[in-house]
Amino acid sequence: MSASFAPALSAAHDAAGAQHYPAGALYMVATPIGNLADITLRALHLLQTVDAVACEDTRHTGALLRSYGIDRAGVALVAVHRHNESEAAQAVIARLAAGERVAYASDAGTPAVSDPGARLAAAVRAAGHAVVPLPGASSITAALSAAGIVAPGHDDGSFVFAGFLPSKAGERATVLKALGAQARPVILLEAPHRIAELAAALAPLGDRPVTMARELTKQFEEIATVPAQGAAAWVAASSQRSRGEYVVLLHAAPVAADAVAEEGRRVLALLLAEKLPLKSAARLAADITGASRNALYEAGLAARQSEQD
């Protein structure tokens, strides 16, 4: 055991031990995506106390528990992966019906997000048992938080999660063409042995910014934003860039200035209809849409004058 985690186990008991953990429930436990220190105190406490641990890979999760100094030698590790998830869910449900608490952990990150777990959760809920999320590490939100995606008209935080694209070149190109038409940011995942192919397929998107996030939370983490047409050259510039899992973020497509102005006027009209003062309405509409505050204020004045006439 690494001595550095001994205080964490004690802190986990102190911080989370008094909380309520219903019996007969499945606990979806997010685990680190690379940095062991990213585990939560509640996850540590639960992994020490549940009656069984269902996991994508029993060897991986067993090693993870040992890394934290959690000895569950007498506790079952139940394999629940994408090839047996529907069948293995029945074994988990039987344990829940007996009043056991069962944790589920995929190999890294949050279960059911481009990882097994969704079918398990659906089956457990259909059987009438509770599914309790324990949030934590996620490569998707980690990459999004560092990408700095800001664009007029599209800075409301919304995004499209597309995950892994098809492996066949033709199918991948078709999907990318459709995603390229998305006005919102798009998040992709890719394996190291396919990143060069994906990077090359991004070229038709031209100057659209793309953030390449590699080995997140690990020692050789790398995050860079490049034009889509330069993504292949960026990957090829270092042999290290063909190693490690990727999150690839297509930034929001640029919006034409006239479209932004039109959306600003539409939002302004809605706010004024709610009897907001013109100055406040213009400020809010500008913040929401990225349109010019002064232009919106002038448009509001003109509309009022027209109504009076």
Per-residue pLDDT at 2 exceeds 60 = no
Q: Tens digits of per-residue pLDDT, 196-254? A: 999 999 999 999 999 999 999 999 999 999 999 999 999 999 999 999 999 999 998 77
Q: Which of 246, 103, 265, 105 is nearest to 187 (CA)?
A: 246
Provide Rg for the chain, Cα atoms. Answer: 24
**Could you give the CA distance from residue 206 to residue 51 in angstroms, rounded to a whole number?**
53
End-to-end CA distance of the chain: 80
User: pTM (2 decimals)?
Assistant: 0.80
Per-residue pLDDT at 12 exceeds 60 = yes
Mean pLDDT computed over 99-106 = 98
**Could you give the CA distance from residue 174 to residue 155 in angstroms, rounded to a whole number?**
27
The residue type at 273: A
Is the Cβ–Cβ distance between 208 and 250 less than 8 Å?
yes
Return the number of other C-beta atoms located less than 10 Å from residue 238's C-beta. Answer: 10
In terms of Cβ atoms closer than 10 Å to its own Cβ (0-12, 13-18, 19+), residue 49 is middle
**Could you give the CA distance from residue 115 to residue 46 in angstroms, rounded to a whole number?**
21
Q: Tens digits of per-residue pLDDT, 119-138? A: 999 999 999 999 999 999 99
Per-residue pLDDT at 155 exceeds 80 = no
